[in-house]
Amino acid sequence: MARGRSALLTMLMIGMLGVATVPPAGAAFPTTYYVDNGDPTCDDGTTNSFAIPYCTIQAAVDDASDDDIIDIAAGTYTGTHPSQVVWLNGKSLTLQGAGQGVTIIDGETSRIGIRIDLASANLSDLTVAQGHSSGSGGGIYALNTAGGEMETVTVTDVTVADSVGAYSGGAMLAYGAVTLTMLRVTLDGGIGEIGGGGGLVAHEGAIVTIDD
């Protein structure tokens, strides 16, 4: 139902704006990929995620391209990869949930919640819980060691809870050429086992801005 309302609102806005919504030559509107593991018809092989949503966030990310949107319905989302639940794998994407404590990415104390490498990202309206990293950043891990242009990671209305970094930064890591902006972010119950820093750790030139 929420997906339907969002799509209808988007269609109405496009209709009202008319030609103003036409992208520049060579550009395209971002595609929205819908994820809802509570929908009994969900299918990670879907070719129309509005009608039949993905079951897992990673499947939607794998099909997405730079600047696309992953819309995640209420539910708890886990993964089977040994290292992370969600890996953006170099793609610059928006991940938007249905609300903190409503959309939950659960690392099950065995993997990172969201891993961002060499990419920009917008994360909003979700909770990352029980993440675990063998290094730092058990909940959200943002790394750019390529240098050059800074990658921008914006985290808005997100809770990172009960996550562990085996070294430091239990909740979050920003490392290298990363500009991290945190808006109304709650870090709760994080543990840095060896180096301390259960909340956030920033290394090697990362820039962090925190705004309540």
Contacts of residue 40, defined as CB under 8 A and 6 or more positions apart, other chains included, come to none
Q: What's the confidence (pLDDT) of residue 20?
A: 43
Is residue 133 pLDDT above 60, yes or no?
Answer: yes
Task: Phi first, then psi: give them for residue 143, nearest 5 degrees.
Answer: -140, 135
152-168 confidence digits (pLDDT tens)? 999 999 999 999 999 88
pLDDT in tens, 4-50: 545 544 443 434 344 444 555 556 799 999 999 999 999 999 999 99
82, two tokens: 């040994």
State pLDDT tens for residues 175-191: 999 999 999 999 998 89
Q: Which amino acid appears at position 9 of this protein?
A: L
CA dihedral 184, 11, 75, 31 (to 10 degrees): -80
And the tokens for 22? 């036409």
Mean pLDDT of the chain: 88
Burial class (CB in 10 A: 0-12, 13-18, 19+), 209: exposed
- What pLDDT is attached to residue 195? 75
51-73 confidence digits (pLDDT tens): 999 999 999 999 999 999 999 99
CA-closest candidate to residue 31, choices 80, 1, 58, 66: 66
Contact yes or no for 120/88 (Cβ under 8 A): no
Single-letter amino acid code for the residue at 132:
H
